[in-house]
């Protein structure tokens, strides 16, 4: 069973982790921004030694079927190539970071852990680092050599649409309440939510400094009955990872429905609920 220290590393403890061999990845990304924007911010300033990992190119598979969602999971081969180009050593741990309010680091943590790689998220991201007077460097040195990786995925649980539909547990929708209720839908094919799902907005899963809330606060936010399995979805499988990270910090293994609402709503055979949970 994992704990907070198994999935999160603090700014205070980061130098020791890096000195012990941890590899640092900058995964800054925001939904809807122009391609390359995160990389540009990386070039303007990043943590010393960090390499840039592109969420869209490495952590997202090809868009072949709308029912698989807007951010399908990558294959093991695609992930191995992308990480190999960054010189990643699979025998050493990885620390990923982004900016508070983004979900990219949690998505990276989930995908890399799913592929069997030991991964932490820097709590508070680059903002916590600079708030602690940590320095940034610009440009990209590329002082690494490509590596050859062989990965196997499946180290974290996922669900298909059929499995979500018959899930005997708590199905958690982490989108904004107005999207959950079906009042607005700015992106996907239909408005509403998966019947039976409860709403736990992902924006609650940071504190005012962009840090993960305490265990007691998370317990209150999640409001989970004891001994019930948990499945999580969002719009396209990215922001759900932030709540899965929170669950993991409490020692709870939640399952991801990767296509999320974008995949469910693209399938005309799937029922849609609106309004608040019954």
Strand partners, 198: 172
State the catalytic residue, choosing from 11, 50, 164, 234: 234
Please tell me the distance from the alpha carbon of residue 197 to that of residue 218, in angstroms, as a whole number.
19
Query: Which structure tokens are listed for 142?
Result: 């590329």
User: By C-alpha distance, which of 275, 1, 253 is closest to 110?
Assistant: 253
Active site residue 234: yes
Query: Which structure tokens are listed for 141?
Result: 């040195």
Give Cβ neighbours of residue 81 (< 8 Å, ≥ 6 apart): none
Torsions phi, psi of 172, nearest 5?
Answer: -110, 120
Please tell me the distance from the alpha carbon of residue 7 to that of residue 148, in angstroms, as a whole number.
25
Give Cβ neighbours of residue 125 (< 8 Å, ≥ 6 apart): 97, 98, 99, 100, 102, 105, 210
Query: Which structure tokens are listed for 261?
Result: 């609402």
What are the respective helix, strand and coil percentages of the chain, to the nearest 5? 30, 10, 55
Please tell me the distance from the alpha carbon of residue 125 to that of residue 36, in angstroms, as a whole number.
19
* Active centre residues (catalytic): 234
């Amino acid at each position: 069973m994992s704990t907070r220290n198994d999935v999160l590393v603090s700014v205070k403890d980061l130098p020791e982790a890096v000195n012990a061999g941890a590899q640092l990845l900058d995964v800054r990304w925001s939904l809807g921004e122009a391609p390359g924007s995160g990389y540009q911010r990386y070039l303007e300033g990043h943590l010393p030694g960090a390499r840039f990992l592109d969420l869209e190119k490495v952590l997202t598979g090809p868009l072949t079927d709308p029912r698989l969602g807007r951010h399908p999971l990558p294959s093991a081969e695609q992930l191995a190539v992308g990480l190999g180009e960054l010189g990643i050593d699979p025998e050493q741990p990885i620390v990923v970071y982004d900016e508070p309010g983004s979900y990219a680091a949690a998505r990276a943590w989930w995908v890399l852990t799913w592929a069997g790689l030991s991964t932490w998220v820097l709590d508070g991201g680059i903002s916590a680092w600079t708030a602690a007077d940590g320095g940034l460097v610009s440009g990209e040195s590329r002082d690494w050599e490509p590596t050859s990786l062989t990965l196997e995925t499946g180290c974290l649980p996922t669900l298909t649409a059929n499995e979500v539909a018959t899930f005997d547990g708590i199905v958690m929708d982490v989108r904004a309440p107005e999207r959950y209720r079906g009042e607005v839908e700015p992106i996907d094919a239909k408005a509403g939510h998966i019947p039976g799902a409860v709403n736990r907005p992902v924006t609650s899963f940071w504190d005012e400094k962009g840090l993960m809330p305490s265990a007691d606060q998370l317990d209150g936010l999640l409001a989970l009955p004891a001994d019930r399995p948990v499945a999580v979805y969002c719009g396209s499988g990215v922001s759900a990872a932030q709540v899965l990270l929170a669950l993991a910090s409490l020692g709870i293994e939640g399952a991801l429905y990767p296509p999320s609402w974008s995949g469910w709503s693209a399938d005309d055979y799937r029922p849609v609920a609106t309004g608040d949970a019954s």
